[in-house]
Chain A
Amino acid sequence: MSILVDKNTRLLVQGFTGSQATLHSEQSIEYGTNIVGGVTPGKGGQTHLGVPVFNSVHEAVEAVQPNASIIFVPAQFCKDSILEAADAGIKLIICITEGVPTLDMLIVKKRVDELGITLIGPNCPGIITPGEAKLGIMPGSIHLQGSVGIISRSGTLTYEAVKQTSDLGLGQSTCVGIGGDPIPGTSFIDVLKMMESDDQTKAIVMVGEIGGTAEEEAAEYIKENISKPVISYIAGQTAPAGKRMGHAGAIIAGGKGTAADKIKRLEQCGVHIAENLLQIGTKTKEVLG
């Protein structure tokens, strides 16, 4: 088993014919992902990468029955694209795009919650279940089917965690990049809950970073609800206060959101801390015994 995506996932790509969507869709298809179609308004009726293009998500749903959608449209159109997929009844939506206005996300998040939809992102690398399906922009080759579930706010940092657990032969059950924005569609807690009830996942790696209190909230949740070992690394231990470190959500504001605070709380709640990013793999192996 795994979480969220597997061999049965039928993926729709929104913004399908754009250059980024094309590049990453090719890679996903090569990895074995079942892409059933794409949407680019005005290009309906064409064929792209061997699958049909539709003018709307609703038309695609009727014709090819996708059960997940990945979004590559520019930031200013993401609100509309996410809500379109939601309105068409898709229950798993992944938004890769970076730069979505925060107030757009406040509205989107409220709506997807009402509809019981899982939205991953925005500003994220996506989800991969190694050996089954890749819905995102991560390099497939570094992954290995295995027992570690990985959740992360960062893209390339996730790849480090993946590479290290692959090199040590542990492999991954599912990796979920929840994204670096202040209002993510899915939180650490949402994914922790899924991984707790997944048989394949034996340990969970949670890669956090400065800003907000998502890691602290996850720590409390882990203490009460997660029986599997959790290993965590927090990036930004050397970040100055008040500066946005690339990600919109990565900022220490009013003395809150520091790496030290997060690490302290996680430790108090029984989470194993990888002091440095180089130790994520070895720490996980050590914990798994």
Chain B
Amino acid sequence: MNLHEYQGKELFAKFGLPVSKNKVITSAGDAVNACRDIGGNNWVVKAQVHAGGRGKAGGVKLVSTPEEAVEFANHWLGKRLVTYQTDSNGQLVNSILVEECTDIAKELYLSALVDRGSQRIVFIGSSEGGVNIEEVAENTPEKIIYEPIDPLTGPMVFQSRKISKVLGLDVEQSKQFSKMLPKLTDLFITHDLSLLEINPLVITQDGKLHCLDAKINIDSNAVYRQPEIQAMHDPSQEDPRESEAALNDLSYVSLDGNIGCMVNGAGLAMGTMDTIKYFGGSPANFLDVGGTATQERVSKAFKLILADPEVKVVLVNIFGGIVRCDLIAEGILAAIEEVGVSIPVVVRLEGNNADIGSNILAESSAEIVSLNSLEDAAKKAVELSK
């Protein structure tokens, strides 16, 4: 689960990390008061969406009158912002962050994530901030430090000194950073983050470290124990079908092809997509219907798949392990009737009682092609999609 920048900064402030004075607005009229409350003569207004690249897309602006802030808010609120990280539809702008202006002397990079290799929380720092960190890693790897945190000790002062050196901090800034590092770790662990990124972390004109951006992702497995984070969830930033699927405990990702896929198991679902591509077709989605594949779940899955107008055929691939395929076949038929599926459905059942299951499907009046091998089923689905 992702947070907006303003939500990330709320958490930063709560953990005692330096962020700019700011206000969030959801209607343009509030911009004037927001600027007044913050004070000063310049403000930065930032469209809040779950995507990077906002600056280049016109979603961030420096303004010098409250009226300009109103104009910016009027322009963006309710519209969709398209950046290089979004699809062509972009993300809906529901809120604008108004911030006091920061005088920047230098831009740095700092992030923390769970590193699979070392199996630790790792801090990544670089003297090159405000740019794409993957490029820095590629071109000038010596400008990046990876510092793993031992879960037993937590971050140590010597580690903050190591990171400070690579960031190029002076003695005072290094001291400030040694106080920030435990707070960042505390935030990471307290709220079950999977990613925390400050790009840029800046040194201000008066020599202080300051968090100018905040990108935070939360481990979706741990959201259940994060009530404060749950309240920050913004469904408008997600694909509506993916949100609907999540509510029904189905794993769904929409793609741009025309063969709807319903598979049990995430690995097999990916393998099925690959097989469709292998035979020259194009999958419309990833969908893991789960190990049990009951009528209820299959019905919900059909509804999701058919909500995509591009879908011309549905390929159902179920490896019935513990669950008997004859029961799954009955569930599929009932679901097709319940949902009113009017496009062809190709079903491949394998495993326990697969023959009986296939017979049940073959004898039904529904427009179903039942095949035992995945190869035949995938080829048939591709043929029907053309």
Contact = CB atoms under 8 A, between A and B. Distances in A.
Contact of B253 (A183, A243, A278): A243
5 contacts: A103-B219, A236-B273, A237-B274, A276-B274, A277-B271
Q: Which 10 A-B pairs give the minimum distances between C-beta atoms?
A: A154-B267, A246-B266, A156-B265, A157-B267, A101-B222, A139-B321, A156-B268, A235-B270, A246-B251, A277-B271
Interface in A197-253: 207, 209-210, 212-214, 217, 233, 235-240, 243-250
B151 A107 contact: yes
A137 B222 contact: no
B374 interface: yes
Contacts of B224: 76
Given A156-B263, A156-B291, A160-B374, 13 more contacts: A23-B322, A102-B194, A102-B219, A106-B119, A137-B291, A155-B291, A156-B265, A156-B321, A235-B268, A245-B286, A246-B267, A247-B267, A248-B219
Interface string B315-347: 000011110000000000000000000000000
A250 B253 contact: no
A147 to B, nearest CB: 23
B73 interface: no
Contacts of A160: 268, 271, 319, 374
A75 interface: yes
Which of B220, B273, B286, B375 gathers most chain A CB within 10 Å?
B286
B116 A214 contact: yes
Nearest to B85: A242
Contacts of B273: 236, 238-239
Contact of A213 (B116, B255, B350): B116
Interface residues of B, number: 49
Which of A103, A244, A259, A277 gathers most chain B CB within 10 Å?
A103
Interface stretch (B19-27, B275-283, B360-368): B275-283
- Chain B facing A: main interface SS: mixed
A116 interface: no
B221 interface: yes
A245 B116 CA distance: 17
B288 A278 contact: no
Contacts of B275: 276-278
B255 A209 contact: no
Given A24-B322, A137-B322, A142-B351, A238 B283 contact: yes
Contacts of B121: 106
A34 B246 CA distance: 38
A255 interface: yes
Contacts of A154: 265-268, 270
B171 interface: no
B270 A180 contact: no
Contacts of B352: 139, 141
A192 interface: no
B211 interface: no
B265 A155 contact: yes
B294 to A, nearest CB: 14
Contacts of B271: 157, 160, 233, 235, 277
Contacts of A250: 266, 270
A157 B219 contact: no
A2 interface: no
B116 A238 contact: no
Interface in B48-99: none
B279 to A, nearest CB: 9
Contacts of B119: 106, 109-110, 183
Contact of B270 (A24, A101, A245): A245
A277 B274 contact: yes
A46 B189 CA distance: 39
A183 B267 contact: no
B269 interface: yes
B278 A248 contact: no
A278 B270 contact: no
B267 A237 contact: no
Interface string B180-197: 000000000100101000
A76 B120 CA distance: 20
Interface in A153-168: 153-160, 163
Contacts of A23: 322
Contacts of B350: 163
